[in-house]
Chain A
């Protein structure tokens, strides 16, 4: 990463201003060494998420110039598995009982010291380099050029289910009523396009797990959290190279 391309620090972070970029980098490396790999390799260091998602910040903005660049940060340890997100999603987006657009998975580590169970909400990662849209024969699923959301044009879906096989996150299902594959679109048609600022799941979450916003806006909470290199931020299945826009963190 080119240091010259790092954005100026926020004026309100008075304390942090005394820390030079070089020191930050050193701290980051230290953190990598300390945290290492936890929980079966699902936790990656902040360094790798920066590399995975931001080749360099300018490169990234050039390559994925979405405005707004919708994105979600999941504060994993806050999730209590109440599943209100799932209910709100199903209600808002007419998701049938046999399907889901978002789900909460349970991770148990019997050897952990105190808390042994964590919950991991999953949804479409709205990847910057989606495996599904490449595989779709008719362009029925595509990445919106403006906001980067992976959309489905139901009329064009032939139901070959290649996108379902291609998705590394199991984010897709075949909707019999729509006669089309269906998936999370960050509530674009049901909420965002009507002026609402949050997805149904983010609005319904009582624990503030799902932080939704615009990754291209340095003032947004998602931007701040993803760029907070003093905290571990990671993505799921980075090895597939799909460059997801759903990030995970703790705290």
Chain B
């Protein structure tokens, strides 16, 4: 919405209010609307998730025996990728001491916690027996399981990040740096394990191999750069304040990180295809489903164009200085990356495991369509991340940072 139009409208209603006062009134009204909208999304997600639990996933969710992982897994991946990325990109400043990155630290650490919480929200409704997980992950761990390591390390990661945020807010920067370092270590370990959850499944050729853990880390940093730029811009919209020079400089550098990581992921993607086409028939069929098959729109338009190429061009054109353009590019990236995760999870399962047996039952690609329950839980997760972000902006006064 344009500020001009809305402020005029308000002035007409309240002619006695000063212009800035009117702007503030509008802003707080919009803020309230956004908080309520996010809250409603969370409520819808919780309702859908609980209803799904009561009627059973077989009926409520679109995932099947052949394709057991659907949009809830991919959305979980989306959130934890973003969280890890926020942690890694911002750690350049608050852990590794590059001062120019320091202004983005507090908001990034806060958002890293917000997004991992949103990830856990979604996975809670995906896992059939989450309460058993809490018990048996502790008393009956399987140390060869990537899922076990991922869950445990992400638990530790969330704790370190929360502690780091508390220390940043209370101004204890030395200790915050230690907590932040532990967060980075746990985050990298957890996130590469998440890649290995897929990469170690030797029966699923689209995923199998050492590519996934590496790709996950690089792709996390790409997501992190986008999230930092978008949410910093949004944070300033919430407060209505002008960005100061150090913050502008931090965003300019983050844009450079974004440009670098987009090109890295493009490079990875190109080689994934070239090498994949030299592989088995099953793998080739999966890659074809992205290039020319049912996932071609997702791949070319959402992943490549919206998620990477257009943002890359916008980033370069903005010279890291036009924050609005950079925020737009970042929003496009985050939107595209959501589908990047979706395709990663879904396309890994579209070729049946018995495909090369040449049997009638498994001669073609499998298909998966998210159910209404699944989509609502996903929206609930998005709402939760948005809600925590919005509340955090007010509660922590726009995450202003003193130099440290």
Interface residues of A (CB under 8 A from B): 39-42, 98-99, 105-109, 120, 122, 131, 133-140, 155-162, 164-170, 172-174, 176, 179-180, 236-237, 239-242
Asked whether B127 lies within 8 Å of A160 as measured between CB atoms, the reply is yes
Provide the residues of chain A in CB contact with B132, threshold 8 Å: 138, 155-159
In the complex, which residue of chain A has the Cβ closest to the Cβ of B361? A105
Residue-wise, chain B 325-339 has the 8 Å CB interface mask toward A (1 for contact) of 000000000000000
**A105 and B360 contact, CB distance less than 8 A:** yes
Those of B173-201 within 8 Å (CB) of chain A = 197, 200-201
| B142 contacts A131, C-beta separation under 8 Å | no
What's the nearest-Cβ distance from chain A to residue B125, in Å? 11
What is the predominant secondary structure among interface residues of chain B facing chain A?
loop
Residues of chain A within 8 A (CB-CB) of B322 are none
Contact residues in A for B358 (Cβ distance below 8 Å): 39-40, 42, 107, 109
Give chain A nearest CB distance to B286 CB in angstroms.
14
Within the complex, the shortest CB–CB distance from A216 to chain B, in Å, comes to 25
Listed by A's residue number, 20 A-B pairs whose Cβ atoms lie within 8 Å are: A131-B202, A134-B142, A134-B145, A135-B200, A136-B145, A137-B133, A137-B142, A155-B132, A158-B127, A158-B129, A162-B145, A165-B349, A166-B201, A168-B202, A168-B353, A170-B354, A174-B65, A237-B203, A240-B202, A242-B202
Query: Is B307 on the interface with A (CB-CB < 8 A)?
Result: no
B315 at the interface (CB under 8 A from A): no
Which of A39, A41, A137, A158 is in CB contact (< 8 Å) with B128?
A158
| A174 neighbours in B (Cβ, 8 Å) | 57-58, 65, 68, 128
| C-alpha gap A108/B354 in the complex (Å) | 14
Which of the segments B42-50, B81-89, B146-154, B258-266 contacts the partner chain? B146-154
Whether B65 and A240, one on each chain, are in contact in the complex, defined by CB atoms closer than 8 angstroms, is: no
Give Cα distance in the complex from A240 to B151, angstroms.
Answer: 26
B148: chain A residues within 8 A (beta carbon): 137-138
CA distance A109 to B146 in the complex (A): 40
Instruction: Tell me what chain A mostly uses at the interface: helix, strand, loop, or mixed.
Output: loop
Choose one: A40, A106, A180; the contact of B360 (CB below 8 Å). A106
B329-367 residues with Cβ-Cβ distance < 8 A to A are: 349, 352-354, 356-362
B residues whose Cβ falls under 8 Å from a Cβ of A: 56-58, 63, 65-66, 68-69, 127-130, 132-133, 136-137, 140-142, 144-148, 151, 197, 200-204, 280, 349, 352-354, 356-362
- For the A-B complex with A107-B357, A158-B137 known, give 14 more contacts whose Cβ atoms are closer than 8 Å: A99-B65, A106-B360, A120-B359, A122-B354, A134-B145, A135-B200, A138-B133, A157-B128, A158-B128, A161-B69, A168-B353, A169-B203, A170-B354, A179-B129
A139 touching B142 by the CB < 8 A rule? yes
Contacts of B68 on A, CB cut-off 8 Å? 161, 164-165, 174
Measured CB to CB, the nearest residue on chain B to A129 is B202
Q: Specify which chain B residues have a CB less than 8 angstroms from the CB of A242 in the assembled complex.
A: 202-203
B201 in complex: contacting residue of A108, A135, A157, A236, CB < 8 Å? A135
